Structure 1
């Protein structure tokens, strides 16, 4: 088993006023030679967007883009004709494929928006761009690994063009549960959203993250009431 610990205070940070962003991996003006990616996970940005502000229209291609709002709302428009608002408790994916353009704004005048934006390299290049958005059921996350993303259109959650599985969990203090890999050779990347957990004995506080690979199973224990995101990700293409 191999591990890499990314503490919350080791992340890149850029405060633009309208955007307060923390980067788990090298992004924009923040570069760290040891923090380029974890397997096929290229970006994990922890963004706070000020009221009425956002990202103007910009392009993407050949990337699987996942947005998980944590607080507030995010208005989305794209070149595929989609126009929608994602809210806390939703998950959105875009397969950028051959190319898309989109914009993202906080539509509220009096509330910030917090979100994770995650990019994964796709399994296949130049696919037809696609968009998907669903509302999650928070009751499924209580003391459970609620699958919110997979490679399978017929499975629970959203789907992407990559052999990855994501889970959201909300554990009560002292609860312990094990999770096995779906695909041999993949790794786990776990980000604590709130609270304190232990992953295979490694303590993770709020916004700490741990990558684990060359193991088939992890055990997570909640030290306090805790919310966290688990990403099972291919380590190689």
Structure 2
């Protein structure tokens, strides 16, 4: 087993006034040669967006983009015909940029800040047709058990959203002093584990809120919650770029 430990305060940070952004991997003007990606995981941004503000229309191509709102309301518009669709906590949004897509993302509230994770995963094939999807996931279905949010089109899980990569994004909410064992798909995969909130012990590492641990060359991972905790798992093939 190999591990990479990222404390929350070692992430890149950008203060744009309307946007407070934390970058787990090199993004925009923040560059760290040691933090370019984790396998096929290219971006994990932890953003807080001011009321009525957001990202104007901009393009993407050949990337799988996943957005997980944590607080507030996100509104999405794109050139595929989707017009200011709301995405709220409990829902997850996926977009395959493929041959090219343009979209806008704004805080749909007049008075509440929007908090979200945005994840970019490098696809297993380029030039696919752009697509958009979103789905609601019940909080009850992740209490002390793993809830798959996003999987590959080739995965048999019919309840999750789909992307063009042999990846898996999932969440779990663990009660205090609960043990959990995460099983990886294969030794060719790694898993990037972020503590959304709470305190954890993972393979002799102590994690607090927004700390993250990348694990490679393993079949499973032992986790214990030291307090009530919310955890995000991003499992990806360990691509060499």
Q: Note the C-alpha offset of 1:184.
A: 3.5
Which residue in 2 is equivalent to 1:197?
A: 200
Tell me the C-alpha RMSD between the 2 structures: 1.0
* Counterpart pick for 1:165 among 144, 165, 168: 168
**Residues 1:131 and 2:132 aligned together:** yes
- Residue ranges of structure 2 left out of the alignment (5+ in a row): none
Residue 122 of structure 1 aligns to a residue whose secondary structure is coil
Map of 1:143-182 to 2, 5 A cutoff? 143-152=144-153, 155=157, 156-182=159-185
Which residue in 2 is equivalent to 1:7?
A: 7
**Residues 1:60 and 2:60 aligned together:** yes
Distance (Å, rounded) in 2 between the aligned partners of 1:154 and 1:128: 21
- TM-score w.r.t. length of structure 1: 0.98
Number of aligned residues: 237
Which residue in 2 is equivalent to 1:44?
A: 44
Which residue in 1 is equivalent to 2:91?
A: 90
Q: Deviations over 1:98-151 (max 9, x none)?
A: 000000000111100000000010001010001110001110110111111110
Q: Deviations over 1:140-167 (max 9, x none)?
A: 1101111111103752211100000111
- Residue ranges of structure 1 left out of the alignment (5+ in a row): none
Q: Note the C-alpha offset of 1:53.
A: 0.3
Which residue in 2 is equivalent to 1:221?
A: 224
Residue 140 of structure 2 aligns to a residue whose secondary structure is helix
Which residue in 1 is equivalent to 2:18?
A: 18
Residue 141 of structure 2 aligns to a residue whose secondary structure is helix
Q: Deviations over 1:41-66 (max 9, x none)?
A: 00000000000100000000000000
Which residue in 2 is equivalent to 1:105?
A: 106
Contact conserved, 2:187 with 2:216, CA < 8 A, in 1?
A: no
